[in-house]
Amino acid sequence: MIARIWHGWTTFRNASEYYEVLIDSVIPGIEQMDIPGFQKIDVLRRDLDTEVEFTTIMYFDSLENIKVFAGEDFETAHVPKEARDILKRWDSRSTHHQLLKSISQ
């Protein structure tokens, strides 16, 4: 399994609005693509001193599945306009990591 990791930062004032855009628009849009090998997406939030960091981790069966989602230049981040309008800054490229072990209780 491959994890696709991306970060975006926003103001405290815009953090709730950005989260709503993720949950109400961005993630449903990804799910509607019915991407082969797409497993799930996790959303993390971290409050920093002057801003809020959001991290998304998407899980795919393989790098080929990620290319179906993102294209041949698969590291390029895809940030919809409605998200760009709220974020202060974001990763222009996503990173990809092989999942070696997942432990649940």
Domain boundaries, the chain: 2-98
pLDDT of residue 105 exceeding 90: no
User: In whole angstroms, what is the distance from residue 101 CA to residue 96 CA?
Assistant: 15
The torsion of the CA quartet 82, 83, 87, 89, rounded to 10 degrees, works out to -120
Is the pTM higher than 0.85? The answer reads: yes
Mean pLDDT value across residues 14-30: 96
Residue pair 85/16 in contact (Cβ under 8 Å)? The answer is no
User: In whole angstroms, what is the distance from residue 36 CA to residue 60 CA?
Assistant: 8
Q: Is 24 helix (H, G, I), strand (E, B) or coil?
A: helix
User: In whole angstroms, what is the distance from residue 7 CA to residue 74 CA?
Assistant: 16
The fold of the 2-98 domain, in CATH, is: Alpha-Beta Plaits (3.30.70)
pLDDT for the residue 104? 86
Q: What are the pLDDT digits (tens) for 26-80?
A: 999 999 999 999 999 999 999 999 999 999 999 999 999 999 999 999 999 989 9
**From the centroid of its chain, how far is CA 53?**
12
pLDDT of residue 4 exceeding 90: yes
pLDDT of residue 12 exceeding 90: yes
pLDDT for the residue 10? 98
